[in-house]
Amino acid sequence: MDPAASGGWRAGIRAGIPLGLAASALAVTFGAYATLAGWPPAATILMSALVFSGSAQFAFITAVSGGAGLITGLGAGALMNLRFVPMAAAAARSLHGGRFRRALEGQAVVDGSWVLAQRPDGTTNREMMIGATLVQWPAWVLGTTVGALLVPSADLLYQFGLDVVFPAFFLLLLLEAIRSRPDHRWVALIAAGLASVAVLVVPVGVALLLSAAASLVVLRRRADPAGGMP
Amino acid sequence: MTTVVVVGIVALAMINFAFKASGPAVLGDREPSERTQDVVASLSPALLAGLVVVEIAGPHWSEVDWTRIVGLAVAAVAYRRGLPDLVCILFAVVVTAGLRLLVP
């Protein structure tokens, strides 16, 4: 069943649980990684609470601990998160209130929640998105705390197969998205191809941004309604 | 190091906030054109496909791991058989961890 089509807050929180579990597993890795890179645990936990973005946090700490300066680190983190600009813009009309409240509600945009909340008509299930994020934020902070204080080895997490949780969840969401809109399979294929090539030469965050460009394919199909393929 | 840590955390948080706030604050509840709506609706499968690829590949295809790919395939088969998402993910974890245990 399409998660975005059903329910509100409660459905969002329920749908956010597997995302929260995956986020906490990744956060444990992040907490341990940052501590091993020389970051004080308190700063690592604070970073997760304020930034709440795994890809940007990993990118920043990798760059800075690798000898790059602050500006380079911030640039790496910003590139990772640039995709949130179009994603939040896409959700804009489904959010409530004036500019300030919308800007605050836009903070609920994270990959998993945003995807869960997308309806086939392009609108966003606001309650689903915010509810799912409300589960993930504490999970992310708690996982970081565990990782920063206990510093489990990356090997341990690997041996338990926890690194498969996030891609598995995204794969299931992709299969669901294609099942509800079979015409989007071409978009997914092109996006996968773009990401496959891009990740060879640009940072992961930029590769994701480029893969999102595959959505422009629907414009060509609209111009040629007889064509089944872009 | 302390300055970098403090400034880095605050600056990154502000950048992230601005990225997510800009669209909602500027666009408001304006109804986008039909073309824009089409593009927005297809953003989700595009981004998901990209996420799956970069999660499998990692930077410069440096993190490819066959056990994880098998785990993902098992999750996809479980999904096709109509099992709940959490069960599919659990299968993926168990198969991936099992393969790593059996084939060191």
Is B18 inside any structural domain?
yes
Q: If phi over 0 gives left and psi between -120 and 50 gives alpha, with beta otherwise, what is residue A122? A: left
Residue B19 belongs to some domain of the structure = yes
CA distance A26 to A54: 8
Amino acid A3: pLDDT? 56
CB-CB contact of B54 with A206 (8 Å): no
CB contact under 8 A, B48 and A93: no
**B69 shares contact with chain A (CB less than 8 Å):** no
Distance, in Å, from the CA atom of A135 to the CA atom of A127, rounded to the nearest integer, reads 12
Res. B68: pLDDT tops 90: yes
In a domain, residue B67? The reply is no
Q: What ipTM does the predicted assembly reach?
A: 0.83
A164 CB-side CA count, 13 A? 30
Contacts of B8 (CB under 8 A, 6+ apart): A47, A60, A64, A70, A73, A74
Q: Are A159 and B23 inside 8 Å of each other by CB?
A: no
What is each CA distance from A75 to A23, A84, A162, A171, in whole angstroms?
A: 23, 15, 29, 29
Structure token digits, residue A101: 């409240």
Q: What is the largest CA-CA distance in chain B?
A: 56
Q: What is the mean pLDDT of residues B41-53?
A: 84
Phi, psi of A28 (to 5 degrees): -60, -45
CA atoms within 13 A on the CB side of B54: 27
- Indicate whether B102 pLDDT > 60: yes
Each residue's pLDDT tens digit, B27-46? 876 766 777 777 877 887 88
Using the beta-carbon criterion (under 8 Å), do A81 and B37 form an inter-chain contact? no
> How many domains are there within chain B?
1
**B22 is a domain residue:** yes
Helices (H) and strands (E) in chain A, counts: 13, 0
Residue B96 located in a structural domain:
no
Tokens of A189: 């294929």
Asked if the structure places residue B26 within a domain, the reply is yes
- Chain B residues with CB under 8 Å of A19 CB are none
The whole-angstrom separation of Cα A27 and Cα A47 is 11
CB A200 within 8 A of CB B34: no
Tell me the per-residue pLDDT of A7-29, one tens digit each, with 9 for 90 and over. Answer: 688 999 998 998 898 888 889 88
What is the DSSP code (8-state) at residue A229? Answer: -
Q: Is B14 inside a domain boundary?
A: yes
Query: What is the per-residue pLDDT for A222?
Result: 59
Residue B17 to chain A, least CA–CA distance (Å): 7
User: Do residue B43 and residue A39 have CB atoms under 8 angstroms apart?
Assistant: no
**Positive or negative, the Cα torsion across A191, A196, A201, A203?**
positive
What string of pLDDT tens digits covers the 230 residues of chain A?
A: 455 556 688 999 998 998 898 888 889 888 988 888 889 999 999 999 999 998 788 878 877 876 778 888 898 788 778 888 888 988 998 999 999 999 999 999 998 899 889 887 778 999 999 999 999 999 999 999 999 999 887 788 789 888 888 788 789 888 988 987 898 899 999 999 999 999 899 887 788 778 888 888 877 765 655 444 43
In chain A, what residues touch B48 (CB-CB under 8 Å)?
115, 170-171, 173-174, 177, 188, 191
Contacts of A158 in chain B (CB under 8 A): 100
Do residue B23 and residue A89 have CB atoms under 8 angstroms apart? yes
- Would you say residue B63 has pLDDT above 60? yes
Containing structural domain, residue B26 = 1-30
Contact status of B103 with chain A (Cβ, < 8 Å):
no
In a domain, residue B99? The reply is no
How far is the CA of A189 from the CAs of A174, A227, B36, B93, in angstroms? 11, 17, 20, 25
| Pairs across A and B, CB distance < 8 A | 302
With an 8 Å Cβ cutoff, are A200 and B76 in contact? no
Strand partners, A118: A124
- The C-alpha of A136 sits at a distance from chain B's nearest C-alpha, in angstroms, of 16
Q: Report CB contact under 8 Å: A214, B49.
A: yes
Is pTM beyond 0.90? Reply is no
**Dihedral sign, Cα of residue A42, residue A47, residue A52, residue A55:** negative
